[in-house]
Amino acid sequence: MRKIVAIVFLAIIGFYIISIFSAFQFGDKYKGVSEHYVKEGIIENRGANLVTSIVVNYRGFDTLGEVTVLFLAATGLSFLLFSCKCEREFKRIKSSLVLRTATDTLFPMILLFGAYIFIHGHLTPGGGFQGGSVIASGVMLLFLSFRSFHPNHKTLSTIEVLAGISFAGIGLLGLVYAKSFLANSVLPLGQWNRLISAGVIPLIYIAVGLKVGAELSGLISDMISTTKED
């Protein structure tokens, strides 16, 4: 009965989605604001990756809000998990020798790769969020292989706070030296397709990468610490 009702419901929703998009021509040219971003994005920002230009500069305020949402989710999660004195019943199992040896060699490389991704965010696919996630996956590997691993929460929150402040501070510098919040005319734009170019975009993405990495590591640590201590 429940499945039949669900399928009828899905059929209705599917019908409406199809009828909305049946008028849309996939694969056509675009106009308006996207055209401006593509055509003059290099002149205005010098960042080779146009998605980064949009995320950090044209829609930089949106990204600040996004970072705030992530922060709120991490805070809410630790509030939910630690506001009760529930008994902890799951135990972390001991990891194998293979995993521990692999972690020893892989962890520094994963950190380096994450840093590479967010430093080159304006040149190659990638950016702050992706690099931060890669760093957090390295921290998760540490959690999986060492049973008694505890990150220093003070350090994590210090990195988070400093990165957040520098993001907002770069935005305010734009307000002081140019005309708008997060304006990209504080630093010289430089040449196209070079590492040091695109004004403040790499700086903001480094801040975002550090913040996301610290935040997601803290989130993983919060979730894992609901297990029993030895």
Least distance from C-beta 14 to other proteins, angstroms? 6
- Choose between 136 and 200: whose C-beta lies nearer to other proteins: 136
- Choose between 24 and 176: whose C-beta lies nearer to other proteins: 24
- Choose between 76 and 169: whose C-beta lies nearer to other proteins: 76
Least distance from C-beta 86 to other proteins, angstroms? 4
- Choose between 99 and 190: whose C-beta lies nearer to other proteins: 190
Q: What are phi and psi of 84, to 5 degrees?
A: -115, 150
The answer for residues whose C-beta is within 8 angstroms of residue 82's C-beta and 6 or more apart is: 222
Buried (b) or exposed (e) across 89-117, using 16+ Cβ within 10 A? eeebeeeeeeeeeebeeeeeebeebbbeb
Tell me the three state secondary structure of residue 58.
Answer: helix
Least distance from C-beta 155 to other proteins, angstroms? 21
- Choose between 100 and 194: whose C-beta lies nearer to other proteins: 194
> Which positions lie near other proteins, rule CB under 8 A?
2-3, 6-7, 9-10, 13-14, 17-18, 21, 24, 26-30, 33-35, 37-43, 48-51, 53-55, 59, 62-63, 66, 69-70, 72-74, 76-77, 80-81, 84, 86-87, 123-125, 127, 129, 133, 192-193, 212, 216, 219, 222-223, 226
**Amino acid code (one letter) for 69:** V
Least distance from C-beta 37 to other proteins, angstroms? 6
Q: Using alpha carbons only, give the angle 170, 139, 71 rounded to the nearest 5 degrees.
A: 40
Least distance from C-beta 96 to other proteins, angstroms? 26
Tell me the three state secondary structure of residue 200.
Answer: coil
How many residues does this entry show for the chain? 230
> In whole angstroms, what is the distance from residue 223 CA to residue 87 CA?
14
